[in-house]
């Protein structure tokens, strides 16, 4: 019975040691993940700035990236690779060898890059041996945005942040364990237990009693293996002594063992609670005795300032701060502890809150907020201090990024409006106010009713809803009416923002006035397809319009009559009355040809005094005869032109061909109509000849 009791005590101690190891392994995992998450914020932030700027703006990006690197010592550099070729390295010094490296063609790193391109999500690769020297895992963030204005995001390149593997694990406080061979890590390329061992002895993963823990390594996984601790020699000796004493004084040992076991449970539970609370919070917690000596400092202090924080227990609490800050902190603490300010009770009501700058072990400074207040120490006859320190680096960086985002929002030349999930206006920038001529006070809180699209067809609405649903973005150029009645062409880009539960949270619309460009493009398109003298179609315009007419005729089961018109005697008009009168004659002929038939019929000038007219919906030869007569009738009328007092008469030779009877292509119809026109010219002036008549004239009796 007594030996069994001793064995139970031994098992309890072993369990306590094992639990302590498990807690230690959990703390190691937490510190590693914390360092990795800080590093991922850097690459995500740089990628987001490139997407917001629609490309690389190195001048504005570099200072923000350098500040991020200062606050994240585990990152060696930031590499920016448009089209997968490294063009920018921050810092450049020491990383010159990386400039120009094609990551897609890299024999080791190409695999993780292609995975990021395929999935569109960040990946963790490595560790790799870098071309610029060193050994690091690389966090890659693919950058995508609408590069060509088609409304769809295209792959632009990648942002890579090499995370120095040894710095990472030193910052997590496990460098000693790695050197002693009691800790190992596996998971090359973030593959977790499937990946190879890259730190420590691989044999640790084969041992049956090894403690293992997964690590969320950004967008991948690692696995830790730690050798369990052995009970200390003192504990082993006590157990053996207890076994001997149990034979001589069993009842006394049993009583002592039970009492000691209960105290151990209380102590372990208390220590575990304190360790869990103080080790896993990011703020530093410290406590002093009644003479100001440190009796406890949480592990967060070492994570905050580095390995130099070791050995502070027993020293003055002011040693936690740089020398130039100590006097100010001491004076504030003394004023707090003045007797006339201390109410009765368990603790003083005063508290000191100060902003200070701490110095890391590498010499860099970080902003922090210190809170200190006195506390009565039982049995020590005085008051000690309890305090916390908060790292303000992330908060200040966030405030700077928030200020940058506000500056971009306020200073953007394009109009920006942010809507809630119910499409009510939450905010507009000054450019939007200038565009619509209304203040934010009039717009915020209401539905977005301006600018008003002129085209409210179901097709437009369905395209918008489909783009937002499938891609989270919709882009379009729309003719819109502003509140003052002006009609402008506006480019809309609407992005859908979802919350962490994938519910619609916000809509962000960016609106730019593209009226000038739109009109310029319309004018350029018009000039490309029209004759500059008569404003009728040229040959290119004829090709485009005829293809539309051909498809319409096939769909409706009708024909197209194509007339080739050549003016007779035009050269004497130019020679006798002048070229300006000749130009006016050509313009008048174009107007008259346009008045024959319907508005949708085609009129084109091929050059000189040659015109082509294509008539829709021709169903019979009689229709062509009627159209030919109408053309001659229009052209026979005398012309009264500015620049000459005499009437001008023109005559024409006209050849007709019909689609699809005579030919099924434009070139074929023009050749046949041209042949008919030349027959008309040979016959006499002011004549119409149809291609079918040429065919009938050449048919032989055998053909019949």
Per-residue pLDDT tens for 283-327? 888 888 888 888 888 888 878 887 654 568 888 888 888 888 888
What pLDDT digit, counting tens, does each position of 398-430 carry? 777 777 777 788 888 899 999 998 889 999 999
pLDDT at 642 over 60: yes
In whole angstroms, give the CA distance from residue 618 to residue 92.
73
CA separation for the pair 508, 51 (Å, rounded): 15
How many Å is the Cα radius of gyration of the chain? Answer: 43
Q: What pLDDT, on a 0 to 100 scale, did the predictor assign at position 210?
A: 84
Q: Tell me: pLDDT of 379 over 80.
A: no
Cα(292)–Cα(289) distance, rounded to whole angstroms? 5
* pLDDT 10s digits, 675-688: 999 998 888 767 88
Instruction: Give pLDDT tens digits for 495-510.
Output: 988 888 888 889 999 9
Angstrom distance (rounded) from CA 485 to CA 481: 6
**pLDDT score at 6:** 60
**Considering only CA atoms, which of 562, 569, 560 is closest in space to residue 589?**
569
452: three-class secondary structure by DSSP: strand
- The pair of three-digit structure tokens given for residue 313, joined into one six-digit string: 């227990």
In the chain the domains, ranked by start, together with CATH numbers, are 2-226 (3.30.450.350), 281-396 (3.30.450.20), 412-518 (3.30.450.20), 530-698 (3.30.70.270)
Choice between 533 and 265, residue whose per-residue pLDDT is larger = 533
d(CA 412, CA 392): 30
Query: For the ranges 233-237, 383-387, 442-446, 471-475, which has the lowest average pLDDT?
Result: 233-237
Q: How far apart are CA 411 and CA 398, in angstroms?
A: 19
**Cis-peptide into 425, omega within 30 deg:** no
- The pairing of strands 687-690 and 651-659 is parallel
At 235, is the pLDDT very low, low, confident or very high (cuts 50, 70, 90)?
Answer: low
> Of 300 and 601, which is predicted with more confidence?
601
Q: Distance between CA atoms of 98 and 157, rounded to whole angstroms? A: 16
* CB-count burial class (<10 Å; 0-12, 13-18, 19+) for 438: middle
- Given a contact cutoff of 8 angstroms between Cβ atoms, the answer to whether 84 and 102 are in contact is yes
- Percentage, residues of the chain above pLDDT 70: 86
Query: Residue for token digits 């997964």?
Result: 214
Residue of 265, 261, 283 whose CA lies nearest to 273: 265
Which of 241-250, 365-374, 586-595 is most confident? 586-595
Confidence of residue 432 (pLDDT cuts 50, 70, 90): very high
For the entire predicted model, the pTM comes to: 0.41
pLDDT band at 10 (very low <50, low <70, confident <90, very high): low
Rounded to the nearest 10 degrees, the angle between the axes of helix 539-556 and helix 515-529 is 90
The DSSP bridge partners found for residue 568 are 651
- Higher-confidence residue: 83 or 146? 83
The tens digit of pLDDT for each residue in 173-215 reads: 887 878 878 888 898 877 888 888 878 888 888 887 788 888 8
Higher pLDDT, 322 or 126: 322
SS3 state at 131:
coil
Q: Which residues contact 48 (CB under 8 A, 6 or more apart)?
A: none
pLDDT score for 704: 34
* 415-420 vs 382-391, strand pairing mode: unpaired
For position 425, what pLDDT does the model report? 92
Q: Give the contacts of 350 (CB within 8 A, at least 6 positions apart).
A: 336, 337, 341, 342, 373, 374
Q: Phi and psi of 382, rounded to 5°?
A: -175, -175
The predicted model gives 4-18 an average pLDDT of: 68
Q: What is the mean pLDDT of the chain?
A: 82
Amino acid 242: pLDDT: 59
More confident residue, 256 or 162: 162
Q: What is the pLDDT of residue 549?
A: 93
Q: Give the SS3 label for residue 460.
A: helix
Mean pLDDT of 78-103: 86
In the predicted model, is pLDDT for residue 340 greater than 60? no
Please tell me the predicted confidence (pLDDT) of residue 336. 78
Range 575-600 average pLDDT: 89
Share of the chain above pLDDT 90, in %: 19
Cβ(100)–Cβ(83) under 8 Å? no
* CB-count exposure of residue 375 (10 Å: 0-12, 13-18, 19+): middle
């Amino acid at each position: 019975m007594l030996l069994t009791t001793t064995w139970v005590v031994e098992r309890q101690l072993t369990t306590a040691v094992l639990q302590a190891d498990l807690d230690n392994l959990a703390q190691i995992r937490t510190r590693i993940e914390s360092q990795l998450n800080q590093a991922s914020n850097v690459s995500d932030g740089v990628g987001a700035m490139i997407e917001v700027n629609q490309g690389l703006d190195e001048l504005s990006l570099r200072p923000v990236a350098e500040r991020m690197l200062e606050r994240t010592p585990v990152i060696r550099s930031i590499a920016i690779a448009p089209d997968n070729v490294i063009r920018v390295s921050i810092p450049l010094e020491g990383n010159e060898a990386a400039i120009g490296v094609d990551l897609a063609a890299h024999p080791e790193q190409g695999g993780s890059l292609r995975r990021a391109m395929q999935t569109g999500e960040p990946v963790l690769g490595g560790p790799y041996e870098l071309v610029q020297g060193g050994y690091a895992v690389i966090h890659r963030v693919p950058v995508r945005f609408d590069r060509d204005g088609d409304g769809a995001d295209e792959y632009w390149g990648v942002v890579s942040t090499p995370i120095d593997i040894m710095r990472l694990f030193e910052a997590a406080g496990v460098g000693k364990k790695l050197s002693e061979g009691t800790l190992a890590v596996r998971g090359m390329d973030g593959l977790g237990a499937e990946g190879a061992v890259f730190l420590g002895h691989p044999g640790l993963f084969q041992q049956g009693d090894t403690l293992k823990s997964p690590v969320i390594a950004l967008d991948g996984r690692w696995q830790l293996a730690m050798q369990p601790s052995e009970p200390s020699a003192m504990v082993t000796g006590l157990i053996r002594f207890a076994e001997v004493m149990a034979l001589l004084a069993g009842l006394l040992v049993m009583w002592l063992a039970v009492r000691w076991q209960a105290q151990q449970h209380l102590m372990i539970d208390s220590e575990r609670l304190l360790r869990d609370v103080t080790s896993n919070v990011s703020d530093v917690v410290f406590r002093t005795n009644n003479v100001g000596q440190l009796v406890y400092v949480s592990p967060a202090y070492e994570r905050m300032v580095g390995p130099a924080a070791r050995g502070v227990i027993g020293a003055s609490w002011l040693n936690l701060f740089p020398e130039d800050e100590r006097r100010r902190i001491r004076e504030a603490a003394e004023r707090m502890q003045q007797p006339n300010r201390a109410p009765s009770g368990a603790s003083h009501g005063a508290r000191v809150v100060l902003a200070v700058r701490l110095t890391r072990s590498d010499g860099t400074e970080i902003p922090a907020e210190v809170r200190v207040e006195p506390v009565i120490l039982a049995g020590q006859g005085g008051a000690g201090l309890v305090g916390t320190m908060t790292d303000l680096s992330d908060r200040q960086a966030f405030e700077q990024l928030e200020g940058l985002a506000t500056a971009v929002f306020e200073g953007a030349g394009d109009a920006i409006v942010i809507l809630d999930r119910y499409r009510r206006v939450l905010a507009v920038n000054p450019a939007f106010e200038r565009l619509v001529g209304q203040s934010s006070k009039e717009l915020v809180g209401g539905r977005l009713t301006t600018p008003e699209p002129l085209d409210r067809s179901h097709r437009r609405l369905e395209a918008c809803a489909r783009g937002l649903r499938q891609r989270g973005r919709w882009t379009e150029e729309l003719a819109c009416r502003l509140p003052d009645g002006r009609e402008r062409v506006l480019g809309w880009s609407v992005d859908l923002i979802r919350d962490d539960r994938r519910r619609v949270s916000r809509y962000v619309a960016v609106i730019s006035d593209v009226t000038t460009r739109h009109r310029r493009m319309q004018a350029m398109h018009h000039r490309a397809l029209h004759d500059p003298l008569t404003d009728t179609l040229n040959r290119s315009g004829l090709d485009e319009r005829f293809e539309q007419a051909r498809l319409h005729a096939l769909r409706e089961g009708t024909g197209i009559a194509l007339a080739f018109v050549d003016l007779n005697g035009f050269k004497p008009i130019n020679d006798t009355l002048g070229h300006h009168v000749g130009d006016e004659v050509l313009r008048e002929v174009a107007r008259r040809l346009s008045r024959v038939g319907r508005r949708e019929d085609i009129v084109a000038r091929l050059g000189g005094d040659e015109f082509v007219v294509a008539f829709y919906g021709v169903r019979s030869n009689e229709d062509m005869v009627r159209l030919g007569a109408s053309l001659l009738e229009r052209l026979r009328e005398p012309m009264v032109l500015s620049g000459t007092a005499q009437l001008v008469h023109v005559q024409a030779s006209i050849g007709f061909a019909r689609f699809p009877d005579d030919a099924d292509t434009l070139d074929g119809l023009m050749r046949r109509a041209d042949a008919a026109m030349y027959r008309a010219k040979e016959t006499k002036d002011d004549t119409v000849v149809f291609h079918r008549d040429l065919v009938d004239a050449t048919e032989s009796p055998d053909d019949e």
